């Protein structure tokens, strides 16, 4: 179990989109499974369809891991279900990350130790926190944005804002 101060710290900060998560990284970390966040990790919010680049990335990744799941906080089962179907992956929507229960369901279904499963996502306070709480290998990626989407403020800055709002002056 990671200490409290490390719960918001990704094991890997990719600094690029998920398309740059390479088989080399998977092998170096000994990962055998991946849980993927959906919105802005795989597909921009405004898009319903997966890109050819993503499909190609996934095809390669399938050769290096035994199991892949989508776990999304989005309550829209139609959106997440259709993305999952086009990628031919099992999914959980309305997952409630950073709560662990539904994420744990996906990891349990893989029948792999959590440390050998990567939790890949674009958000510290949901994806990384949930994955770290389960003892997974957490991988923070840059968001997948559509042209014209406003750039995301830095993770560190949004985290600091959240902390000061939550614990700071009232």
Cβ atoms of residues 141 and 121 within 8 Å: yes
Q: Which of 14, 31, 40, 69 binds Mg ion (CB under 5 A)?
A: 40
Asked if residue 11 binds Mg ion (CB under 5 A), the reply is no
110-139 positions binding Mg ion, by CB under 5 A? 122
Report the candidate in 170, 48, 70 with the shortest Cα–Cα distance to residue 119.
70
With beta carbons less than 8 A apart as the criterion, state whether 132 and 6 touch. yes
**Which CB atom, from 122 or from 142, has the smaller least distance to Mg ion?**
122
Least Å distance, CB 144 to Mg ion, is 9
Does 39 interact with Mg ion (rule: CB under 5 A)? Answer: yes
Contact 93, 107 (CB under 8 A): no
Locate tokens 């989407």: which residue?
Answer: 149
Give the nearer residue to Mg ion in terms of CB position, either 32 or 119: 119
The C-alpha atoms of residue 132 and residue 122 are separated, in whole angstroms, by 14
Site size toward Mg ion (CB under 5 A) is 5
Q: Would you state the structure tokens that stand for residue 131, as one six-digit string?
A: 């994955």
CB of 39 to Mg ion, least distance (A): 4
Tell me which residues touch Mg ion (CB under 5 A).
37, 39-41, 122
């Amino acid at each position: 179990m990671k200490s409290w101060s490390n719960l918001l710290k990704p094991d890997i900060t990719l600094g690029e989109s998920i398309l740059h998560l390479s088989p080399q990284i998977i092998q170096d970390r000994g990962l055998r499974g991946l849980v993927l966040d959906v919105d802005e990790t795989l597909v921009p919010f405004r898009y319903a369809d997966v890109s050819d680049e993503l499909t190609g990335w996934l095809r390669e990744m399938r050769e290096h891991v035994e199991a892949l799941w989508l776990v999304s906080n989005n309550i829209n089962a139609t959106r997440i279900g259709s993305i999952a179907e086009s990628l031919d992956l099992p999914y959980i929507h309305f997952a409630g990350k950073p709560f662990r229960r539904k994420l744990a369901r996906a990891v349990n279904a893989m029948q792999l130790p959590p440390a050998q499963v990567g939790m890949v996502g674009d958000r510290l306070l949901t994806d990384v926190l949930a994955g770290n709480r389960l003892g997974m290998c957490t991988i923070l990626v840059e968001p997948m944005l559509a042209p014209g989407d406003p750039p995301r403020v830095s993770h560190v800055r949004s985290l600091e804002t959240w902390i000061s709002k939550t614990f700071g002056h009232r």
